[in-house]
């Protein structure tokens, strides 16, 4: 699925769709060059391969994401995306767990006019 993302509100929707489809590369395509992501464990990932491993691990653990957008604030070529999320995932002991939270993600519009995530923070303000 190769679509132009000209509206930043589409990013959480596409992230959910691609993650739930097990499409690691499709999720990574939503990230701007140099993007960073804070994991639910608090680590900050900036390396593309580390991001790939993190997303791949979520897919391998049977991750199923549900996003509910709260609001998006856009200023020039930057957007703040606040989204409530729940992730069903297999814990290391095999039990199915459902952590949830609220993101504080930042997207930016590139020179090509497309929006991509620049900073992903699933832990919101915590």
Domain ranges of the chain: 10-120
Residues 5-24 have pLDDT tens digits of 999 999 999 999 999 999 99
Residue 73, classed as helix, strand or coil, is strand
Residue 42 is encoded by which pair of tokens?
């608090």
The pLDDT value recorded for residue 46 is: 94
Mean pLDDT, the chain, integer: 94
The pLDDT value recorded for residue 125 is: 78
Question: How would residue 2 be classed by pLDDT, with cut points 50, 70 and 90?
Answer: low
Residues 34-87 have pLDDT tens digits of 999 999 889 999 999 999 999 999 999 999 999 999 999 999 999 999 999 999
Please report the sign of the dihedral spanned by the C-alpha atoms of residue 109, residue 17, residue 54, residue 85: positive
* Cα pseudo-dihedral 88, 69, 1, 32, rounded to 10: -100
Evaluate if pTM is beyond 0.75: yes
Q: Summarize the confidence of residues 98-121 as an average pLDDT.
A: 96
- Strand runs (DSSP E) across 76-126, as ranges? 78-90, 96-97, 100-102, 105-109, 115-120
Question: How would residue 3 be classed by pLDDT, with cut points 50, 70 and 90?
Answer: confident
- Residue range 10-120, CATH number: 3.10.450.50
Helix axes 10-20, 48-60, angle to 10 degrees: 60
- Residue written as tokens 């699933």? 122
The pLDDT value recorded for residue 25 is: 97
Residue 79, classed as helix, strand or coil, is strand
């Amino acid at each position: 699925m190769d679509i132009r993302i000209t509206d930043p509100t589409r990013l959480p929707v596409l992230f959910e769709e691609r993650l739930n489809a097990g499409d690691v590369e499709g999720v990574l395509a939503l990230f701007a060059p140099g993007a960073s992501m804070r994991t639910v464990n608090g680590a900050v990932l900036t390396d593309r391969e580390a991001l790939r491993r993190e997303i791949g691990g979520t897919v391998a653990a049977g991750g199923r994401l549900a996003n509910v957008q709260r609001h998006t604030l856009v200023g020039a070529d930057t957007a703040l995306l606040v989204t409530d999320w729940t992730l069903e995932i297999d814990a290391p002991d095999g039990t199915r767990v459902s952590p949830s939270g609220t993101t504080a993600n930042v997207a930016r519009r590139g020179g090509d006019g497309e929006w991509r995530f620049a900073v992903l923070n699933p832990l919101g303000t915590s």
